[in-house]
Amino acid sequence: MFEKLKDIETKYAEVEKALGDPAQISNQQRLIELSKTHAELSPIVSTYQEYQQLESALEETLHMLESETDAEIVGLAQEEVESLTVQKEELTEELKLLLIPKDPNDEKNVIIEIRAGTGGEEASLFAAELFRMYTRYAERQNWKLEILNSNATGLKGVKEIIFSIDGGRVYSQLKFEGGIHRVQRIPATEASGRIHTSAATVAVLPEAEELDLAIDEATELRIDTYRSSGPGGQSVNTTDSAIRITHIPTGLVVTCQDEKSQHKNRSKAMKILRARLQEQKQSELNSERAETRRSMVGSGDRSEKIRTYNFPQSRVTDHRIQFSSYQLDSILDGDIQAFIDQLTTADQAEKLKQT
């Protein structure tokens, strides 16, 4: 580990020197790359330098203990050794975490797709509640949320809703939310009072920029327009504003009809398509490395059952890490940070085993 840290310290010094070179200012792309590398290495190097200072102080104190005869000074020095040893162990663990390979998508914004699963109208209502949960969480983080496409039901539920969240390191916080979410409760329409189990699927996709994924629109896309349908006001069924984009090489189809403007619907549909293509590409890569990449918190596969919301017991349980909270109401109101933190910690612990 320490050889790797020395290499990082050397590279950091080289990057700092390059950033101070006036010749780099004219090369904006190179400057951006250097600044990004500097930002990534800075916390590792500063922690390592703190570790080195601590180690030096510990060696000096131990050396003093060997030659000191005054009982009072020896006692103080022994206390100092104990304190410095604890700090050194803490910094060692911190350095291990800092050296865990970063997920390249952590800094990205996300596109989330929520779809009602088994359970009929009750599943649609639960899907709407999950959407509200993520909306409230985004508000708590001061993130921007935008609905890209939705398919509502008559009882305030949603069969499907796709939305983007923009902010700081959004994917790093929400990447473990993908999978099957189950709800256990007595539906309002259930006369006999029986508890029903319904489900909704959540997919969390890192947003793909045009630079990340090249699409030849002329040869790879078929774009159709049609009239919007469903609830939506006067513009519904009056103009051909809805968009259907088919990615010919993969067969992926994306539709968008929420906006009155055909141009806006097209832009949103392309955003969704890029994210899905990027996810497909990443899934293929992950399957090739399945054994080394699989984490105890799961693969993020939307077919994986990850969490149960039990209304009779006011309990929410994440099955991947066996973590439960009895604050169901506050969780559905967006207070999900405890789950995010526990999942992140579990993922880091698993990655540490693999390093």
Sites in the chain below the pLDDT cut of 70: 189, 191, 210-212, 229-239, 285-303, 354-355
pLDDT at 185: 94
pLDDT at 271: 87
The amino acid that residue 30 corresponds to is R
294 backbone φψ class: left, alpha, beta (φ>0; ψ -120 to 50):
beta
* Pairwise CA distance, residues 112 & 110, whole Å: 6
pTM over 0.85: no
| CATH number given to 217-286 | 3.30.160.20
* Block residue for tokens 């149960």: 308
Full DSSP string of 308-341: EEETTTTEEEETTTTEEES-HHHHHTT--HHHHH
- Beta bridge partners, 305, equal 180
CATH class of 110-211+293-354: alpha beta
Q: How far apart are CA 207 and CA 164, in angstroms?
A: 8
pLDDT of residue 122: 92
Q: Which of 177, 189, 207 is nearest to 272 (CA)?
A: 207
Q: What is the pLDDT of residue 290?
A: 47
Query: Taking the domains of the chain in order of start, what are their residue ranges?
Result: 2-98, 110-211+293-354, 217-286
Q: Do domains 110-211+293-354 and 217-286 have the same CATH topology?
A: no
Pairing of strands 110-116, 196-206: antiparallel
Q: What is the pLDDT of residues 312-332, one digit of tens each?
A: 999 999 999 999 999 999 999
